[in-house]
Amino acid sequence: MQFDEVKRNLESRGYAVSCFPDARAAMDYLDAQIDGMTVGLGGSVTLEQLGAYERLSTHNTVHWHHRLTEGQSHMDVRAAANESEVYISSVNALARTGEIVNIDHICNRVAAIAYGPQKVYLVVGRNKIAESEADALYRARNVAGPLNARRLHRNTPCAIRADKCYDCDSPDRICRGLSVLWRKPAMSDIEILLIDADLGY
């Protein structure tokens, strides 16, 4: 995929953008950029596929609620992740025009992306790119949401059918907060890594 248009639109909105031919090249880049730091990871299948925790934890202090050590709670690790020097996440959808859409359950991920860590990296596979802001919102709700609900074994209509959002009232609902970044938040340092591979949901 050619990322020229997406890269140009993101840069016009204030983001730094790097492009990579595959997941390994992107992970090599992150591994070289981040050394001796505290790192928080957002809940992300993409980061699982990159092996981000395994690579970065060899020379950084990495906080990820997908990898708990003895005595740690999910909430303690999420809090530590949000207070880290560096935060890494993926997104639910990225519009070709430059808007970034995320839907979250606890909202720790959207909070850390928008404000807190000194540096944020957003790792985005080509499958997350939608044509417009409306298409990006549709993708987040009707593609990423159901697949993540099914992955997490939630008792929701979207997890059972894995076809669309039903805007349900289930206690297991994971879609509880929406973030749309129209521009890079002021005074933030966010770099977007565009990867020519299908990654995550």
- pLDDT of the residue at 69: 83
DSSP state of 97: T
What is the average pLDDT across 129-136? 98
- pLDDT of the residue at 162: 84
**50 and 200 in contact (C-beta within 8 Å)?**
no
Cα–Cα distance for residue pair 125/116, rounded to 1 Å: 24
pLDDT digits (tens, 9 = 90+) for 143-166: 999 999 999 999 999 999 889 999
Q: Structure pTM?
A: 0.96
pLDDT digits (tens, 9 = 90+) for 30-63: 999 999 999 999 999 999 999 999 999 999 999 9
Q: pLDDT grade, residue 139 (50/70/90)?
A: very high
Helix residue spans in the chain (DSSP H)? 4-12, 23-33, 45-50, 52-56, 74-82, 108-114, 133-139, 145-151, 157-161
Residue 68 has pLDDT above 90, yes or no: no
- pLDDT of the residue at 85: 98
**38 and 84 in contact (C-beta within 8 Å)?**
yes
Query: Does residue 136 sit in helix, strand or coil?
Result: helix
- pLDDT of the residue at 70: 82
Cα–Cα distance for residue pair 174/103, rounded to 1 Å: 8
- pLDDT of the residue at 106: 95
Q: pLDDT grade, residue 2 (50/70/90)?
A: confident
Cα–Cα distance for residue pair 96/101, rounded to 1 Å: 12
Contacts of 26 (CB under 8 A, 6+ apart): 18, 20, 50, 123, 193, 195
- Of the candidates 14, 166, 167, which has an alpha carbon nearest to the alpha carbon of residue 100? 14
Residue 91 has pLDDT above 90, yes or no: yes
Q: How far is CA 34 from CA 78, 118, 119, 148, 191, in A?
A: 19, 12, 10, 28, 13
